[in-house]
Structure 1
Amino acid sequence: MTSRLPIIDMHCDLLVYLTDVPNPDMNKVEEIGCALPALTEGNVKLQVMAMYSATESGSTNYAALQRDMFKVLADSDNSLTSVTNNKILQQVMRQSGSVGMVAAVENASGFCEENEPLEDGFKKLEKMIEICGRLLYISFTHHTGNRFGGGNMTNDGITTDGKMLLDYLHGRHIAVDLSHTSDALAFDMLTHIDKERLDIPIIASHSNFRPVWKHNRNLPDELTQEIIRRKGLIGMNFLRAFVNDEDPEALLNHILYGISKGAEDVICFGADYFYTADSTDLSRIPYYFKEHEQAGTSYNSILSRLQEQLSQEQLEKLAFGNARRFITNLWSKD
Structure 2
Amino acid sequence: MIIDCHCDALLKMWLHKVDFIDDVVLDVNRQKWINSPVRVQCFAIYVPEHIPTESKFIIALEMIDLFIEKIIKPYSDIKWIKQKLDIEELKSYEKGAMLTLEGLDCIGNDLFKLRLLIRLGVKMIGMSWNTANLAVDGIGESRAAGLTDFGKKVIQLANQEKVWIDLAHISTQGFNDAIELANHVIVSHANSRKICDHARNLDDEQIKKIIEKNGLIGITFVKDFVVKKEKATIADLIYHIAHFIQMGAEDHIVFGSDFDGTDQFIEHLSAIDNYWSLQLTLHQRFSLKQCQKISYLNFLRHFPS
Q: TM-score, normalised by structure 1?
A: 0.83
SS of the residue corresponding to residue 11 of structure 1 reads coil
Conservation of the 8 A alpha-carbon contact between 1:54 and 1:142 = no
Query: Identity of aligned pairs, percent?
Result: 25
Report the counterpart of residue 163 of structure 1 in structure 2: 152
C-alpha change, 1:181 and 1:254, in structure 2 (3 Å) is: same
Report the counterpart of residue 271 of structure 2 in structure 1: 294
Of the three residues 46, 50, 54, the one matched with 1:52 is 46
Q: Provide the C-alpha distance between the structure 1 equivalents of 2:261 and 2:24, rounded to a whole number of angstroms.
A: 10
Q: TM-score, normalised by structure 2?
A: 0.91
Conservation of the 8 A alpha-carbon contact between 1:32 and 1:275 = no
Of the three residues 265, 274, 277, the one matched with 2:251 is 265
Q: Provide the C-alpha distance between the structure 1 equivalents of 2:76 and 2:298, rounded to a whole number of angstroms.
A: 27
Q: Provide the C-alpha distance between the structure 1 equivalents of 2:178 and 2:214, rounded to a whole number of angstroms.
A: 16
Report the counterpart of residue 218 of structure 1 in structure 2: 201
C-alpha change, 1:164 and 1:130, in structure 2 (3 Å) is: closer
Of the three residues 128, 132, 144, the one matched with 1:141 is 128
Superposed, which structure 2 residues align to 1:154-193 within 5 Å?
A: 154=141, 155-191=144-180, 193=181
SS of the residue corresponding to residue 294 of structure 2 reads helix
Q: Provide the C-alpha distance between the structure 2 equivalents of 1:292 and 1:308, rounded to a whole number of angstroms.
A: 17
Which string of whole-angstrom CA distances, capped at 9 and with x for unpartnered residues, describes residues 296-330 of structure 1?
12x22122113333111001111111112112xx1
Report the counterpart of residue 16 of structure 1 in structure 2: 11
Report the counterpart of residue 326 of structure 1 in structure 2: 302
The CA deviation at 1:80 is: 1.9
Of the three residues 79, 82, 92, the one matched with 2:80 is 82
For structure 1, list consecutive stretches of 5 or more residues without a partner in the other structure: 1-5, 277-285
Moved more, 12-21 or 253-262: 12-21
* TM-align CA RMSD: 1.8
Conservation of the 8 A alpha-carbon contact between 1:51 and 1:104 = yes
Which string of whole-angstrom CA distances, capped at 9 and with x for unpartnered residues, describes residues 8-48 of structure 1?
000011111222213x1323363222112222211211111
Of the three residues 233, 238, 245, the one matched with 2:221 is 238
Which string of whole-angstrom CA distances, capped at 9 and with x for unpartnered residues, describes residues 151-170 of structure 1?
12122222222122222323
The CA deviation at 1:78 is: 4.7
Conservation of the 8 A alpha-carbon contact between 2:82 and 2:123 = no
SS of the residue corresponding to residue 291 of structure 1 reads coil
Q: Provide the C-alpha distance between the structure 1 equivalents of 2:245 and 2:200, rounded to a whole number of angstroms.
A: 19
Conservation of the 8 A alpha-carbon contact between 1:109 and 1:146 = yes
SS of the residue corresponding to residue 62 of structure 1 reads helix
SS of the residue corresponding to residue 307 of structure 1 reads helix
Conservation of the 8 A alpha-carbon contact between 2:217 and 2:252 = yes
SS of the residue corresponding to residue 176 of structure 1 reads strand
For structure 2, list consecutive stretches of 5 or more residues without a partner in the other structure: none
Report the counterpart of residue 3 of structure 1 in structure 2: none
Which string of whole-angstrom CA distances, capped at 9 and with x for unpartnered residues, describes residues 91-140 of structure 1?
22x422x2101111100112x12xxxx3xx22222222233xx3221011
Conservation of the 8 A alpha-carbon contact between 1:26 and 1:35 = yes
Conservation of the 8 A alpha-carbon contact between 2:128 and 2:170 = yes
Which string of whole-angstrom CA distances, capped at 9 and with x for unpartnered residues, describes residues 47-71 of structure 1?
1111012455222122111122222
Q: Provide the C-alpha distance between the structure 2 equivalents of 1:10 and 1:312, rounded to a whole number of angstroms.
A: 21
Q: Provide the C-alpha distance between the structure 2 equivalents of 1:159 and 1:147, rounded to a whole number of angstroms.
A: 7
Is 1:253 aligned with 2:239?
yes
Is 1:70 aligned with 2:67?
yes
Q: Provide the C-alpha distance between the structure 1 equivalents of 2:46 and 2:92, rounded to a whole number of angstroms.
A: 29
Q: Provide the C-alpha distance between the structure 2 equivalents of 1:189 and 1:7, rounded to a whole number of angstroms.
A: 28
C-alpha change, 1:289 and 1:247, in structure 2 (3 Å) is: closer
SS of the residue corresponding to residue 68 of structure 2 reads helix
Which letter does structure 2 place at the counterpart of 1:77? Answer: Y
Conservation of the 8 A alpha-carbon contact between 1:218 and 1:242 = yes
Q: Provide the C-alpha distance between the structure 2 equivalents of 1:61 and 1:190, rounded to a whole number of angstroms.
A: 30
Q: How many residues align?
A: 296
